[in-house]
Structure 1
Amino acid sequence: MSDKSKNGIDRRNFMIASLATVGASAALAAAADAADAQDTAAPASRPGSGTVYTGDTIEGKKVVSALDVNDLEPGKKHLLYFQGVEMPTGQYWYVSVTVAKGAKPGKRGVLTSGVHGDEMSSIHTVQTVMNQLDPAQMSGTVMAVTDVARPAIEGMQRRWPNQGRGIDLIDMNREWPGNENGLTAPSRHAGLLFNRLLRPNADFAIDFHTGTTGFEVTAFNIGGLDVPEVKAMVELYPVGQIFDNHVYPGVLHNAFMDVGIPSFTPEIGAARVLDLEMISLFVEGTMNVLKHHGIVAGPMGRTGKDVNVFVGNSAFPILATQGGIVEHLVKLNDKVEPGQRVAIQRNSFGEVVAEYTSGVAGEITGQRSDAMSEPGNPLAFILFHKVAPEEGQSYPE
């Protein structure tokens, strides 16, 4: 679920502006130097290639600060921890890494989940795919990272609780590709993961998500269909909708795309729960993708053609204008027409204070699942086709 800050201020700009207000011109210079260091000093301190073991183990699993899957023994599954950014205590946030290294060479796929901490079905989807893989029968490698934003997952909340000037909740899926010398821990964590774990081991990548707490989405994929490699993958899922849009910068799949790695985002229902029926659709589609790339053998499962997938390139938001209890008049995946009522809202007396209608012809792709709403909350998103779609559009992720 898209939840950009209402005032639209980028966190980095806000931090720099705040520093300036306390007369910290030196701090501004230091921040600029830190940003420059990403392009200058960082390559010298970052391993150019190869796996770096820290010498630590956690629950019997080795810890790495950089990974090259080519270094791992073929025909086996490898369970590792990757050392991320430091906590305020000076300890590290670790992320779980599972690598299925095929007996034969081939393409390298990266599956990620847990970029938002309240998205359980995305984690279970990746785990289920990895459990189905037999490295002895594979050609190539599949690497999975299921708990990218570990501190957010610990609280089962969407955002990373950053310890800056008091608690600041940062959406990590607006931070990619990150900056190893950035101004926040999530930015540095993203930079470490992207530079030392994800990007070096990916020929293609899939970043799994769900709706956010309080907002449920249907089963759909987000990706730019104008990129042939992406189109070929997203169409292999037996899900009802495809959002053909590159959306906005800062999301993980766009960080991959920016460096030439085909990538997209599946969206798997509601937050904080396991939707096993919906998960099975994305497991089937992901296995199709691995077959498409020759990593695993076997016949294709169902695809978008088998379920008459609906493709749209824009998401029409319906925002609450009043406070009160929301009653939806349509369901996820329902087709709607312009002017059709999709929701009503009542106050504490039970009086109808607002009626909401669709402004487009399309399909319901997301709905508010929290029964109460205040003004400005998204109540629904409608997937539709627009002749000239907007770039950087919000979406129900």
Structure 2
Amino acid sequence: MKAVMAAAALLAASAGMAATEASGSLDGTAIIDRLEVGDQPAGAVQRYWFRAGTSVLGQPWLVPVVVIRGARPGPRLMITAGIHGDELNGIAVIHKLAQGIDPARLAGTVTLVPGLNTPGLLQSSREWAADFSRASPNLNRVMPGKEGGRDVDDYAGRLWARLIRPNADLAVDLHTQSRGTAYVMYAFASTARTRRMAELMAPDVIKMDKGEKGTVENTLTDDGVPAITLELGRPEMFDDSMIARGEAGIRNLMREQKMLEGAVTPLPPGSFVANSSESVRAPRAGWARLLVPLGSAVTKGQAVAVMTDAFGRVTDAITAPLAGRISSSFTDPRREQGGMIVRIVWWNPDPACAGGC
């Protein structure tokens, strides 16, 4: 704590350079209002609570941060998870990285944020659910936020300006599908550089995608920091297989960046690259039964699911509208009218779709 405050005071005296701002502690862990990884001690691991705003009770929203600064200079890699509060596998990936990366053998700095959305995590909610009084916003649609704005904008603005953007040369944002659905291991990319980052993850599917406005991935990439979203299966659980694959992919990226020693593992032949997707939806409410496994290749017209009514009578046979790969499917058989049954991805040869349609 004293070392951090001393470093902050020293850097604050340097014109034009932001410094880590300590503002207290919780059970011996420093609470900070700003992070500057350049003032962290080399060859060491530091753990902080980052103050991302204030709840309606006047208490701080605290976000956990682990900074691993290597003994040698190198890139600044930002790894985030839990921006949706029911998507948990990425948090376990970060925990394993925090336990397993030796700063003495690391070049550069890894900043790990295992839980961006404190309100959502408290309520196992995809949204930034700070209270129940109004519709909750999606924290991964409001980046870069605005300090001093409404509550979610201020929260996002502090994360962006004081934690994420100043400390990232490249980034991976970890997700899963949300409640009631599941993904294969699935990477989103939007440029040639981020496609290469996605390939290093060895996912089942890489989707070239222009993405949604306000996401961590696209806001960083648009600002010159290559970033990908990596989806790791199902929500509300720790899946050891997905966690191991996520950790292995990030370590592979770190080897490519010369942050870790060792050979880079190439993209396995089974990975499927797509630039377009189609959601197949339930034509009416009822009970759905999947006929093909998640991750399967399908042909146009192939039966993928059946719907039954409350008595078990078949009401609909649902078929694939096109050929491709099933990247996502339901896990909760209760489907509302219009609810997603499967999502099919494929490669559209139109040159206009090269970066995603």
**In the TM superposition, what is the alpha-carbon distance from 1:128 to its structure 2 partner?**
1.3
Q: 1:259 matched to which residue of 2? A: 223
Matched, 1:170 2:137: yes
Helix, strand or coil for the counterpart of 2:219?
helix
Give the Cα–Cα distance (whole angstroms) in 1 for the partners of residues 335 and 354 of structure 2. 27
Measure the CA separation in 2 of the matches of 1:132 and 1:162. 33
Distance 1:392 1:51 in 2: 39
TM-score by length of 2: 0.92
- Contact 2:205–2:272 at 8 Å: present in 1 too? yes
Aligned position for 1:212? 178
Cα-to-partner distance string for 1:342-394 (whole Å, 9 max, x where unaligned):
1110001211112211111110000011111110111110111122449987x
Give the corresponding residue for 2:287: 325
For residues 80 and 17 of structure 2, the distance between their equivalents in structure 1, rounded to whole angstroms, comes to: 21
Q: Which residue identity does 2:193 align to in structure 1?
A: E
Unaligned runs of 5+ in 1: 1-46
The residue number in structure 2 matching 1:101 is 69
1:116 aligns with 2:87: no
Paired amino acid for 1:300: V
Task: Provide closer, same or farther for how the CA distance between residues 390 and 134 of structure 1 changes in structure 2, counting only shifts above 3 A.
Answer: closer
Residues 92-101 or 383-392, more deviating: 383-392
Instruction: Please give the alpha-carbon distance, in whole angstroms, between the structure 1 residues aligned to 2:40 and 2:225.
Output: 22
Percent identical across equivalent pairs? 30
Question: Is the CA contact (8 Å cut-off) linking 1:74 and 1:103 kept in structure 2?
Answer: yes
Spell out, residue by residue over 1:311-345, the C-alpha distance to the aligned partner (whole angstroms, 9 max, x if none).
00111101111111001111111000111111110
Measure, in 2, the Cα distance between the counterparts of 1:52 and 1:99.
12
- The change in CA–CA distance for 1:379 and 1:222 in structure 2 (over 3 A counts) is same
Letter aligned with residue 135 of structure 1: P
Q: TM-score, structure 1 length as denominator?
A: 0.83
* Cα distance in 2 between the residues matched to 1:48 and 1:146: 30
Q: Which runs of 4+ in 1 moved over 2 A?
A: 47-55, 387-393
Are residues 1:188 and 2:154 paired? yes
Distance in 1 between the 2:309 and 2:164 partners? 49
Looking at structure 1, the residues matched to 75 and 22 of structure 2 have their Cα atoms a distance apart, in angstroms, of 27
Aligned to 2:146: 179
1:130 positional shift: 2.4
Check conservation: 1:161, 1:167, Cα contact below 8 A: no
Is structure 2 residue 199 aligned with structure 1 residue 235? yes
- The CA deviation at 1:182 is 2.4
Query: Contact between 1:162 and 1:168, CA under 8 Å: does it hold in 2?
Result: no
SS of the aligned residue for 2:30 comes to strand
What is residue 7 of structure 1 aligned with on the other side?
none
Q: Distance in 2 between matches of 1:84 and 1:161?
A: 14
Paired amino acid for 1:251: T
Match status 1:375 vs 2:341: no
1:295 Cα deviation after fit? 1.0
Find the residue that maps to 2:193 and give its secondary structure: helix
Q: Deviations 1:125-146 (Å, cap 9, x if unpaired)?
A: 1221222211111110000111
Q: What is the DSSP-based 3-state SS (H/G/I as helix, E as strand, rest coil) of the residue aligned with 2:93?
A: helix
8 Å Cα contact 1:53-1:62 kept in structure 2? no
Q: What is the RMSD of the two structures over their aligned residues, measured on CA atoms?
A: 1.7
Query: Which of the numbers 322, 331, 356 marks the counterpart of 1:360?
Result: 322
In structure 2, C-alpha distance between the alignment counterparts of 1:206 and 1:95, rounded to whole Å: 17
Which of 137-146 and 232-241 deviates more? Answer: 232-241
- CA offset at residue 121 of structure 1? 0.6
Asked whether the equivalents of residues 141 and 214 of structure 2 are also in contact (C-alpha less than 8 Å), the reply is yes
1:1-397 mapped onto 2 (5 Å cutoff): 49-163=17-131, 166-183=133-150, 185-224=151-190, 227-301=191-265, 303-304=266-267, 306-386=268-348, 387=350, 388-389=352-353
